[in-house]
Amino acid sequence: MADFEARARKVLPPVLGHYTWLSIDRGEGSWLITTDGRRVLDLTCGIAVTVVGHAHPRVVKAVTEQVSKLMHISTGVAKYESSIALAEMLATVTPRGLDLAFFGNSGAEAVEGAIKLARQTTGREAIITFRGGFHGRTVGAATLTTSKAQYRRGYGALLPEVYVAPYPYALACALPDPHDAEACAEHCYAELEAMLEHEVPPEHVAAIFIEPVLGEGGYVAAPASFLGRLRELASQIGALLVFDEVQTGMGRTGAWFAAQKFGVTPDVMTLAKALGGGMPLGAVVSTRERMERWRTGTHGSTFGGNPVSCASGLATMQVIRDEGLVARADTLGALMVEELAALRSHPRVREIRRFGAMVAVEFDDKSAAKAAIAAALEKDVLLITCGFHDQVVRFIPALNIREDDLRKGVRVFAEAARAAQVAAPAR
């Protein structure tokens, strides 16, 4: 493995950070097998991508068959079955009215497309986003991303007319303690109203972008009441409400999309990650009325909606449907929280939270979170962090993981967290 890392360092730039230097040979379900034969339980899903596990037979079959027939032609040049079939199936599970999809290659591309759609079809320029959100690292997406300042470091001016409002994250709220999530949401909405009074006129706002559950920002769900008020506000001022469901989509929350779990329908959704089942695929989803106003030729992609990626995405959706994995997300989430209950008394744990099968353990400092996942990896359980300071450990298992594997993996983490003795940060 040391040789593997040395080779990588010689030819790959250091700009990309690394959680580990595991050298992976193959994946089987919820397991990764390294080049030296080590079996590691993957509770990361490739950062929320492999929602039906690694190398699911139906997905592999669909990809293999598509590769043998057509790998690429570009959807702007000719049409092919996998792209149309995937869009058709998406339209059966998206919130009512969101029935047209533009396919790209990634979540960042989907966000870029949604920005362009919003600006062009409203004739406005201003975008409101929320502190702690992650929307990608391309220039437009990075302007909306505020989970960490490092994503902007050294790049100078990014996209103009982007305004950042506070996200209702109770543990990071500006209100004095004690307060709950609803009080935090009231405060954040009042700050948003002040922004519209003092910083950006409502009639300038093209779109309000939000992750209904913060992903990289810490696995924090916004209160449904807050999202409902955003829906009302967007309609009132003539702006589009855009839900970034790149990490929450495809059954992860216990509904096909978080929008349905919250009972709030946005004007636009951005999708990626699990959408492609392991292949690069993103999508902008909106209403027919909105999409037909996006002028022909003003947006496009050579590889977007690639035949192989769409075949993989379609097979993945069929597995999710046929194996009942949307409903299973809540079962898995409850199981994880049950096994993590022993950590509630841990002196370094601030909160254990979940939304569907998105589970987070927030520590008081990055050092405690990193020590816990390092100790878990020594026992062959792979986890990664998130949060403003990497102080949150997130659990993202495949939705078809065996329950006994998941239970054992979470227990390993809980034991590792108790055993990893790290001094508390100075206050």
Query: Does 160 share its domain with 256?
Result: yes
Residue 425, pLDDT score: 62
Q: Residue 190 maps to which CATH number?
A: 3.40.640.10
2 within a domain of the structure (yes/no): no
Number of folded domains that form the chain: 2
Q: What is the per-residue pLDDT across 198-230, written as a single tens digit (0 to 9) for each? A: 999 999 999 999 999 999 999 999 999 999 999
Query: Does 165 share its domain with 113?
Result: yes
Query: Does 269 share its domain with 345?
Result: no
Query: Does 224 share its domain with 364?
Result: no
Query: Does 272 share its domain with 366?
Result: no
User: Last residue of a domain, which of 297, 322, 347?
Assistant: 322
Query: Does 332 share its domain with 362?
Result: yes
Per the CB < 8 A criterion, the answer to whether 260 and 92 are in contact is: no
For the chain, how many residues are written? Answer: 427
Query: Does 309 share its domain with 190?
Result: yes
Helices (H), 201-324: 224-237, 258-262, 288-291, 307-322
pLDDT tens digit at each of 427 positions of the chain: 568 889 989 999 999 888 999 999 999 999 999 999 999 999 999 999 999 999 999 999 999 999 999 999 999 999 999 999 999 999 999 999 999 999 999 999 999 999 999 999 999 999 999 999 999 999 999 999 999 999 999 999 999 999 999 999 999 999 999 999 999 999 999 999 999 999 999 999 999 999 999 999 999 999 999 999 999 999 999 999 999 999 999 999 999 999 999 999 999 999 999 999 999 999 999 999 999 999 999 999 999 999 999 999 999 999 999 999 999 999 999 999 999 999 999 999 999 999 999 999 999 999 999 999 999 999 999 999 999 999 999 999 999 999 999 999 999 999 999 998 655 665 5
Cα separation, 404 vs 335, whole angstroms: 10
364 within a domain of the structure (yes/no): yes
Query: Does 169 share its domain with 254?
Result: yes
Helix (H) or strand (E) holding 286: strand 282-286
Residue 368 belongs to domain spanning: 325-404+412-427
105 within a domain of the structure (yes/no): yes
4 within a domain of the structure (yes/no): no
CB atoms within 10 A of CB 277: 29
Q: What are the beta bridge partners of residue 386?
A: 392
Residue 18, pLDDT score: 87
15 within a domain of the structure (yes/no): no
296 within a domain of the structure (yes/no): yes
228 within a domain of the structure (yes/no): yes
Please enumerate in sequence order all residues whose Cβ is within 8 A of that of 416, keeping only pairs 6 or more positions apart, or say none. 372, 373, 375, 376, 378, 379, 381
Cα separation, 63 vs 67, whole angstroms: 6
User: Last residue of a domain, which of 261, 296, 322?
Assistant: 322
Query: Does 334 share its domain with 317?
Result: no
29 within a domain of the structure (yes/no): no
Query: Does 314 share its domain with 353?
Result: no
- pTM across the whole model: 0.96
Query: Does 171 share its domain with 283?
Result: yes
Q: Residue 335 maps to which CATH number?
A: 3.90.1150.10
User: Last residue of a domain, which of 259, 287, 322?
Assistant: 322
Cα separation, 376 vs 382, whole angstroms: 7
Residue 423, pLDDT score: 58
Query: Does 270 share its domain with 416?
Result: no
Q: How many CA atoms lie within 13 A of 405 on its CB side?
A: 18
